[in-house]
Amino acid sequence: MTRRLALLAVLLLGCDGAFAPAPDATPMPPSGITGTVILGPTCATGSEPGAHDPVPCLTPYAAQLVVLDSDNVVVARVSSGIDGNFRVDVPPGEYVVAPQGGDPFPIAQPVNVLVTVGEYVEIQLNYDTGIR
């Protein structure tokens, strides 16, 4: 038994602390931006069926989005799926999600986002088709 303990001590001492935890070993929990992209209106005002629907003439939209940091530097590019949903991991900080638009439509306004540690901020981007 003493021989095994001595061997273990030699092995551990010979590793120069390789088994010691690093001082900054705590990983930061994931954070980012998640959301939905909506396109509308997709039919002329007053002519849509079911005019009593709460959100008539809107549809999910597959869009290209650019995420800019507070220095206006591109930190990520993300595409929403055909269901309009997207998710992008970014560290905590202030961002602008800049929708990439058509010429001249569809078009959407940028959205300011504040991402905090360990959280995903949920946003909605609304692309305007120009149909009236």
Q: Is residue 10 part of a domain?
A: no
Does residue 74 or residue 4 have the better pLDDT? 74
CA neighbor of 119 nearest in space, from 29, 18, 52, 3: 29
Structurally, the chain folds into a number of domains equal to: 1
Which two three-digit tokens encode residue 76?
A: 């990520």
**Domain that residue 43 falls in:** 30-128
What pLDDT score was predicted for residue 28?
86
Rounded CA-CA distance 65/78 in Å is 5
68, β-bridge pairs: 74, 96
Express each pLDDT in 33-69 by its tens digit. 999 999 999 998 655 455 555 557 999 999 999 999 9
Which of 15-29, 97-111, 115-129 tops mean pLDDT? 115-129
- The residue with tokens 């005002």 is 45
Residue 1: inside a domain, yes or no? no
Q: Read off the DSSP letter of residue 60.
A: E
Residue 17 lies inside a defined structural domain of this protein: no
Could you tell me the pTM of the whole model? 0.73
115 vs 131: which has the higher pLDDT: 115
With respect to residue 99, please indicate whether it lies within any of the assigned structural domains: yes
Structure letter (DSSP) for residue 92: S
Is 107 part of any domain?
yes
Report the CATH number that the domain containing residue 124 is assigned in CATH: 2.60.40.10
